[in-house]
Amino acid sequence: MIDLIEEIKDLKKAKNATLLAHYYQEGDIQELADFTGDSLKLAREATKVKTPVIVFCGVHFMAETAKMLNPEKKVLLPDLQAGCSLAESCPAEKLLRFQEMLRENGRRFQTVTYINSSAAVKALSDWVVTSGNAEEIIRRVPADQEILFVPDRHLGQYLTEITGRKMILWNGACIVHEIFSVGDLLTLKRQVPAGITVAHPECPANIREHSDFVGGTEAMLKYIGGFADQKDFLVATEANMMWQMQHKFPQHRYHPVPGITCACNKCPHMARNTLEKVRDCLMYGRPEIEWQPEFARAREVVTRSLLN
Ligand code: 13P
Ligand code: SF4
């Protein structure tokens, strides 16, 4: 393990690569990264990278976003199969048919798309949002237009609650956040009565309504960082997030909110990236995200939404 970590550090130098890692990666990968972050921070960091190679330790749509913002760079994803249930729930052809049907029915709308989507879906959108900027972007959509929000129905419902904007919601969900068990959360709350519950907005309403704070991963860190004295936090998001919380704010105690089927709530897609695969992609220069024709239009939408 130590050898493998040293090997990756050496290869990173030799290949002149920058390693970006999402907070849902295993702690040993986050530790090796030049930058860690939520989807918004990583998309922004990707535009500042100086090296010719980016290794994106996250899932496919994140690496794709980094590539569209850096056409001239080599963007490597340790495992090309690292997908996302939200992105899979919304194929571009299906979205296009739905948009056409709405237009034929005389509906005037803008499409607001969660970043957890393919480049082809982003290219069909007016806006791209992350958990970090969604509220702000929703407020930018003219009041005389409806909002078609894709693909996360829970995030969409949450945004309706906080902005008052009704939305047409796509029926997608995150397989990790959707399976938190409200019964087990209430049991945990009884076991840790002073515990403060933090939940990701990808969680269903029954989890959010029992939470003290709802926000994306970066917002969670900011919230937790606001408590100087030791607290107990009940965490309703992907389990690796607790590594970053522990790393930044070791004075607190963290308790995972259990899921219906398991206690750890690990994203199986994020888990595809291992140290061995990080080493191999640096060594062989693949798997690589190749430029696709739809990236050009998707890039315009992403730039307008996330970088301006
Ligand atoms: P954020 O880190 O942007 O809150 O997103 C969570 C997520 O599900 C990434 O796949
Ligand atoms: Fe997709 Fe959920 Fe995994 Fe994030 S945690 S990559 S939303 S499946």
**Contact residues of ligand 2, CB 6 A cut-off:** 24, 59, 84-86, 116, 174-176, 202, 238, 267, 269-270
Which domains, from first to last, does the chain contain?
A: 2-83+270-294 (3.40.50.10800), 87-169 (3.40.50.10800), 177-256 (3.40.50.10800)
Rounded to whole angstroms, the Cα distance separating 171 from 285 reads 37
pTM to 2 decimals? 0.96
- Residue among 24, 33, 70, 23 at smallest CA distance from 278: 33
| Chain centroid to CA 255 | 21
Distance 131 CA to ligand 1 centre (A): 7
Counting runs of H as helices and runs of E as strands, what totals does the chain give? 15, 12
Residues 132, 219 contacting (CB under 8 angstroms): yes
Residues 57, 25 contacting (CB under 8 angstroms): yes
Residue with the nearest Cα to atom 7 of ligand 1? 39
pLDDT tens track for 257-289: 987 776 678 999 999 999 999 999 999 999 999
Residue of 77, 150, 238, 241 to test ligand 2 pocket, by largest number of atoms within 8 Å of CB: 238
Rg (CA), the chain: 19
SS3 180: strand
pLDDT tens track for 130-141: 999 999 999 999
Cis before 204 (ω within 30): no
Ligand 1 atom closest to Cα of residue 220: 4
> What is the number of other CB atoms lying within 10 angstroms of the CB of residue 172?
24
Q: What is the pLDDT of residue 263?
A: 62
Ligand 2 atom closest to Cα of residue 268: 3
Ligand 1 atom closest to Cα of residue 23: 2
Instruction: Point out the residues of the chain with pLDDT beneath 50.
Output: none
| Chain centroid to CA 29 | 16
Distance 107 CA to ligand 1 centre (A): 31
Cis before 250 (ω within 30): no
Ligand 2 atom closest to Cα of residue 202: 7
- Report phi then psi at 104, rounded to 5: -60, -30
Residue with the nearest Cα to atom 6 of ligand 2? 84
Q: What is the pLDDT of residue 260?
A: 73
Residue of 40, 153, 155, 267 to test ligand 2 pocket, by largest number of atoms within 8 Å of CB: 267
Rounded to whole angstroms, the Cα distance separating 120 from 102 reads 19
- First CA to last CA across the chain, in angstroms? 41
Residues 97, 134 contacting (CB under 8 angstroms): no
Ligand 1 atom closest to Cα of residue 132: 3
Nearest ligand to the CA of 59 is 2
Q: What is the pLDDT of residue 187?
A: 95
Residue with the nearest Cα to atom 10 of ligand 1? 116
Ligand 2 atom closest to Cα of residue 24: 5
Rounded to whole angstroms, the Cα distance separating 207 from 185 reads 8
Q: What is the pLDDT of residue 259?
A: 78
SS3 259: strand
